[in-house]
Amino acid sequence: MRNITLTLMVILLVLSSCSGLKVTQHYDEEIDFTQHKSFFIMPPDPFIDLHVNRYDKELLLRSIADEMKARGYKQNEATGDLVVNMSLIMNDKTGFTNYNSYYHLSGYRFVYTWGYGYAGGYYQYTIKKGTLIIDVFDNRSKKLAWQGLGIGTVEEDEVKRAKNIPHVIQKMFYKYPVKKK
């Protein structure tokens, strides 16, 4: 019984860790992040408005600010020790799948039947892939201090997307050199 419980726990852990989001982070090990006390967020590129609605853009910026504040940084409007920049790249992936009715259920198995059914057709679908890039620069040296990349499928449902955005940002900042306080 114990082996079954342990096996189920491992399976649940593996399934819960599976996510469509791939995250990578890099940082400059020569920079002492504890010396920085404040940050400001650069205005995003105007072209981001072509892919992201105003509400999602504001939620992204607010979530980034919340992660920085949780690490003890104060937000300034025009200057700060750290400069945060957000970039977004969107790609549409188009795929095709076909359907037909040549197979039907006969008893307990699917059986291929000659001459029955119709040829069917195809269904075209589009998947939005997005890459979110968050750069944190040292304002004094103008060097890239930390970079986080999040690559994944963009949720079509606005309500689910609004719930996912803060979690995506949290995942991207998970290995930030300064831990949450």
In a domain? residue 13:
no
In a domain? residue 2:
no
9-23, 70-84, 151-165: which range is least confident on average?
9-23
In a domain? residue 116:
yes
In a domain? residue 6:
no
Q: Which residues pair with 126 in a beta bridge?
A: 94
Give the domain CATH number at 147: 3.30.160.670
Give the residue numbers spanning the domain of 67.
21-172
* Residue carrying the six token digits 């105003």: 54
In a domain? residue 156:
yes
In a domain? residue 91:
yes
| 19 or 27, greater pLDDT | 27
Residue 41's CB: how many other CB atoms inside 10 A? Answer: 20
Q: Which whole-number Å values give the CA distances from 158 to 56, 102, 132, 152, in the listed order?
A: 9, 38, 18, 16
Q: How far apart (Å, rounded) are the C-alpha atoms in residues 156 and 161?
A: 7
Total domains present in the chain? 1
Residue 122's CB: how many other CB atoms inside 10 A? Answer: 9
Contact 31, 145 (CB under 8 A): yes
In a domain? residue 119:
yes
Q: Confidence class of residue 52 from pLDDT cuts 50, 70 and 90?
A: confident
In a domain? residue 12:
no
Residue 146's CB: how many other CB atoms inside 10 A? Answer: 22
pLDDT in tens, 105-135: 555 555 555 555 555 566 676 677 889 999 9
pLDDT at 62: 96
90-104, 108-122, 128-142, 150-164: which range is least confident on average?
108-122
In three-state form (DSSP H/G/I as H, E/B as E, the rest C), the secondary structure along the chain is: CHHHHHHHHHHHHHHHHCCCCEEEEEECCCCCHHHCCEEEECCCCHHHHHCCCHHHHHHHHHHHHHHHHHCCCEECCCCCCEEEEEEEEEEEEEEEEEECCCEEEECCEEEECCCCCCCCEEEEEEEEEEEEEEEEEECCCCEEEEEEEEEEECCCCHHHHHHHHHHHHHHHCCCCCCCCC
Q: How far apart (Å, rounded) are the C-alpha atoms in residues 106 and 112?
A: 10
